[in-house]
A and B are shown apart, each in its own frame.
Chain A
Amino acid sequence: EVQLVESGGGLVKPGGSLRLSCAASRFTLSNTWMSWVRQAPGKGLEWVGLIKSNIDGGTTDYSPPVRGRFSISRDDSKNTMYLQMNSLKIDDTGVYYCATGILEPTPIWGQGTTVTVS
């Protein structure tokens, strides 16, 4: 089954760091544009950032609230994407999803991992 599995969430103090992982199964992560999307408690979906496929350069883009603090990377040998979160703020609390094809006909979303900054 094609799937994405996030891990690495947890409780961290303001100003701290955390690294989330997103492991892909049954498809090659580097062949597609991958995004991180978060959802604060009781709030809506918010795009965090993306990493382009290797054929499109593998570059990254970020939403303004996280630019300069978060970074996305990929380990192609592990078929895994990462979200390094530094200088965490209370407002970064929420469920973090990795996803691909958000605006395509066949998106794939992970189940989410919870980050609590407190």
Chain B
Amino acid sequence: QSVVTQPPSASGTPGQRVTISCSGSSSNIGANTVNWYQQLPGTAPKLLINSNNQRPSGVPDRFSGSKSGTSASLAISGLQSEDEADYYCAAWDGSLKGPVFGGGTKLTVL
């Protein structure tokens, strides 16, 4: 069980806005920036958001991130069927001395 908590599932209909939360502590999210990853079945994770709210080149502006205190959020607007995937937050953990991942959220597009 991860020390960073995400809801196990989320869902929405095409065009909707969905938010995925990521709750940590002062040793991880509270002290460091957060990256968000998208993982499609059978593939390696793909970076969606880095440094809390920065979109790498090629990531649609429908994806946005934010952070406040020991929590972070990923928002997906204009939901599309291809957004159906698993989403993970990640941050450095000073106690672990390594990166910690959230437990992951499976997004279903209804």
Contacts and interface: CB of A to CB of B under 8 A. Distances in A.
Interface of A: 35, 37, 43-47, 49-50, 61-63, 97, 99, 102-107, 109-112
Contacts, number: 61
B44 A44 contact: no
Query: Chain B interface: which size bin?
Result: 20 to 34
Contacts of B51: 105
A47 B104 CA distance: 13
B101 to A, nearest CB: 4
A62 B96 CA distance: 8
B72 interface: no
A35 B88 contact: no
A104 B51 CA distance: 8
A46 B98 contact: no
A45 B56 contact: no
